[in-house]
Amino acid sequence: MGSDGRSWSGVAGGAGGGGEEKTRAAPAEVPTSAAAVDISLPLPEMTPRVIDLCKELVKGWSSLDSSCFSISTVSGGITNLLLKVSVKEGTDSQSSVTVRLYGPNTDLVIDRERELQAIPYLSAAGFGARLLGVFENGVVSSFIHARTLTPSDMKEPRIAAEIAKQLQKFHQVDIPGSKEPQLWNDIFKFLKKASVLKFEDNEKQKRYETISFREIQDEVKELKDLSDLLHAPVVFAHNDLLSGNLMLNDLEEKLYFIDFEYGSYSYRGYDIANHFNEYAGFDCDYNLYPDKDAQYHFFRNYLSDRPSEVQEQNLDALYTETNTFRLASHVYWALWALIQARVSPIDFDYLGYFFLRYGEYKKQREFCFSLTQGFLSSLRSG
């Protein structure tokens, strides 16, 4: 069930099969600026400040006249503003960069220090856009000439196989600092913040007050205790591998991982499960979660450069690991959504998203717990 046909151009070097040494490429020096851009301004008013930033941070642009620049909004995430900044080079060509402005209050759910520590090493390893500069409330990166994947793209077998191969290489990147997994720390931090919110809107407050945080805390502790028994490998994980963070240049057949805001050391199975949960797409149809055959196709390509040779017991183990952390993914984003419901200016029903994700957790709980308990029991008796 490995990928067939022409080979793909992956995004990075790094280890092939599991168990190989981690790779750490030396990052280049990245220019920094203490300047900031007010994200609340309309684009025309923001433009002069963005141009000044690009002149300061992008090599070779400092002497360009402001009339050479054009700026447009790029579709992207729901927590940042993404801009494409282009400059004319002669009469027929132009070069472009991406400017990402952090959304207000995103520091409540994103560790920017952790992100900025990791980006240079991921960039040096060939992942994502090349980091060109850092400023007070954002970054400047090279522009990727590729299309953003759709949720339905991700489950296409050939693309799924390539995502698996590149994710395995991503997991081999060595980021300096503590290698302690952050998943449960982050979840408990979110839980603490989410449990003491106050909403000005009375209807939102009433819905919020129906939530039992004692129940959620008990569920998280039980899930953590169960997952700890699996001794899942700890890797540097993307943690947000949805379709919007995957790009494909169809002409070159080159796949890109982008946006490492939630990246941290975490559990291998969590990163894979979180990706599988994103098959649900923008309509959050979790019936689209990949079936066992589709998961095993992904696992074979993740575990080996020779997918057909992967042993069944290794597939079974990763299947159990992934579907245990499937539950953790739902809890993480449910609590994340509660915090966003209180602080985000974006017009999105974050409170409804909490109930959707936590509801899916409860729906899948029995299957996932039984799967894991059965697997552990077979290990003890086998």
> Above 50 in pLDDT, residue 83?
yes
Instruction: Compute how many other C-beta atoms are within 10 angstroms of the C-beta atom of residue 197.
Output: 16
**Which tens digit of pLDDT belongs to each residue from 331-373?**
999 999 999 999 988 889 999 999 999 999 999 999 999 999 9
Strand partners, 72: 84
User: For the whole model, what pTM was predicted?
Assistant: 0.89
Mean pLDDT, the chain, rounded, equals 91
**Which tens digit of pLDDT belongs to each residue from 8-56?**
545 443 333 444 567 776 567 889 999 999 988 999 999 999 999 999 9
Closest CA to 11 of 134, 154, 172: 172
Write down the domain spans for the chain: 43-143, 148-381
Q: How confident is the model at residue 166 (pLDDT cuts 50, 70, 90)?
A: very high
Strand partners, 138: 101, 135
Cβ–Cβ under 8 Å, residues 328 and 216: no
| pLDDT of res. 75 | 63
Structure token digits, residue 379? 């290990």
Closest CA to 291 of 158, 157, 153: 157
Structure token digits, residue 346? 């974006």
| pLDDT of res. 89 | 75
**Which tens digit of pLDDT belongs to each residue from 293-340?**
999 999 999 999 999 999 999 999 999 999 999 999 999 999 999 999
Q: Would you tell me which CATH number, out of the four given (3.30.200.20, 3.60.20.10, 3.30.9.10, 1.20.120.1630), belongs to the domain 43-143?
A: 3.30.200.20
| pLDDT of res. 7 | 42
Supply the angle between the helices 312-343 and 292-303 in degrees, to the nearest 10.
Answer: 100
CA distance 91 to 158: 39
| pLDDT of res. 12 | 40
**Which tens digit of pLDDT belongs to each residue from 263-290?**
999 999 999 999 999 999 989 999 999 9
CA distance 130 to 141: 5
Q: What share of the chain is helix, strand, coil (3-state, %, to 5)?
A: 50, 15, 35
Cβ–Cβ under 8 Å, residues 244 and 206: no
State the CATH architecture for 148-381.
Alpha-Beta Complex (3.90)
DSSP 252: T
Cβ–Cβ under 8 Å, residues 54 and 80: no
Strand partners, 80: 102
